[in-house]
Amino acid sequence: MTDEQLLRYSRHILLDELGIEGQERILAGHALVVGAGGLGSPAALYLASAGVGKITLVDDDTVDFTNLQRQILHTQARVGLAKAESGRQALAAINPEIAIVPLQRRLAGDELAALVASADVVLDCTDNFATRHAINRACVQHRKPLVSGAAIRFDGQISVYDLRRDDAPCYHCLFPEGEDVEEVRCAVMGVFAPLTGIVGTMQAAEALKLLAGIGESLTGRLLLLDALGMEWRNVRFRKDAGCAVCGPSGDARSGGCPDRSGADRVSSAPACRRG
């Protein structure tokens, strides 16, 4: 670690749980952030400021004037620019020493699998169920930790699926693909601006803990936030051996997913992730 890095990250290094070794793991880490909107904005900004060595930022959209209420990666001057490139400019301004790879496309298939395989942690900041489930399958296949967040109206959710662990549930365990789920959009339902900041920042915190190897992650727990009442609920869930993705007969790897005790009280994940 250089003298400049010791100074830049000194407030991390002062933390006994993190220290120089933990910061060095962060500096060597590669985070894949899928979605550069409401959740991806604060998540990516904190990953960059904390010194994650490589951030791959993926989004197929362009900056729109309606994004500016909450998508803090972007500015009015960059309306019309690809969100991935706008995000690259914002992250580089905060921390020019890290590598930022902007990708302006929707990931799928082999490309998604290859990017997940190359990352140390994946942050799902997307806004549709098909993409979430595709990311989950790739993370199960390559045994990569997945940090998943969602936000719509005044309701937020966050959980971690640490698929390096044989006992960890996957996203499909909690929200099975193919269920009759109504997908709601922020463009129709609206979203409280700070809510995306709260959830996205928590995604960054969980990702940094995973990279540094410190603390206890949200694996097996789903946090639900009602921002109107500012009340949190903590729902625990376990693996279900019948999971179609990570169970013994699943299509991504041999393993298992949740007995949904407690999870039956959880509404389906909000569709709006990017906001």
| DSSP for 116-177, written as a single string | HHH-SEEEE--S-HHHHHHHHHHHHHHT-EEEEEEEEBTEEEEEEEETTSTT---HHHHS-T
- Domain-embedded: residue 272: no
Integer Cα distance of 266 and 45 in angstroms: 30
Amino acid letter, 88: R
Report pLDDT for 45. 98
Report pLDDT for 17. 97
Spatial CB neighbours of 130, under 8 Å, sequence gap ≥ 6:
none
Report pLDDT for 198. 98
Q: Both tokens of residue 43? A: 């998540």
- How many structural domains comprise the chain? 1
Q: Both tokens of residue 233? A: 């609920």
- Domain-embedded: residue 273: no
Report pLDDT for 186. 66
Report pLDDT for 238. 92
Residue range(s) defining the domain that contains residue 150: 3-265
Integer Cα distance of 45 and 6 in angstroms: 20
pLDDT in tens, the chain (275 residues): 999 999 999 999 999 999 999 999 999 999 999 999 999 999 999 999 999 999 999 999 999 999 999 999 999 999 999 999 999 999 999 999 999 999 999 999 999 999 999 999 999 999 888 999 999 999 999 999 999 999 999 999 999 999 999 999 999 999 998 754 555 556 678 999 999 999 999 999 999 999 999 999 999 999 999 999 999 999 999 998 899 999 887 666 543 333 333 333 334 445 444 44
CA distances from 221 to 119, 173, 234 (A): 23, 12, 7
Q: Is there a contact between 112 and 126 (Cβ–Cβ < 8 Å)?
A: no
Amino acid letter, 62: T
Report pLDDT for 146. 98
DSSP, collapsed to helix, strand or coil, labels residue 55 as: strand
- 82: domain CATH number is 3.40.50.720
Q: Is there a contact between 56 and 101 (Cβ–Cβ < 8 Å)?
A: yes
Report pLDDT for 177. 84
Q: Both tokens of residue 156? A: 């937020």
- Domain-embedded: residue 120: yes
- Domain-embedded: residue 136: yes
CA distances from 127 to 124, 152, 165, 180, 215 (A): 9, 10, 26, 17, 28
- Domain-embedded: residue 170: yes
Report pLDDT for 178. 73
- Domain-embedded: residue 22: yes
Q: What is the DSSP letter of 182?
A: P
- Domain-embedded: residue 275: no
Q: Both tokens of residue 40? A: 């991806």
Q: Is there a contact between 173 and 244 (Cβ–Cβ < 8 Å)?
A: no
Report pLDDT for 251. 63
Report pLDDT for 185. 59
- Domain-embedded: residue 63: yes
Report pLDDT for 160. 98
